[in-house]
Amino acid sequence: MKIVTICGMGLGTSLMLKMNIENILKSIGKSAQIDNVDLGSIKGINADLVIAPKDMESRLKDVPLPKIFINNLIDKLELEQKLKEYFQ
């Protein structure tokens, strides 16, 4: 499984999401390759799941991949809940 986290520049938010996802996946017994990228790079990437901040939803509407949008980036419980729902 490949998960891609996205933010505007591919450094801050997407890296924070990546690290949190790694910890959550480990705690729920799942594994994935997780890459963090900038918004402009997503069109050339093949992935099973895209995770991004909610404010990027309109910019990613044409990306034909499953997506999870996060409202509060520091709320690890929100991210964990959405990942668990995805894996069910």
Domains of the chain are: 2-87 (3.40.50.2300)
The predicted model scores a pTM of 0.92
- Under a CB-based contact definition with an 8 Å cutoff, are residues 47 and 2 in contact? yes
Contacts of 38 (CB under 8 A, 6+ apart): 6, 7, 8, 9, 10, 11, 14
Per-residue pLDDT tens digits for 44-73: 889 999 999 999 999 999 999 999 999 998
- Under a CB-based contact definition with an 8 Å cutoff, are residues 37 and 10 in contact? yes
% of the chain with per-residue pLDDT over 90: 80
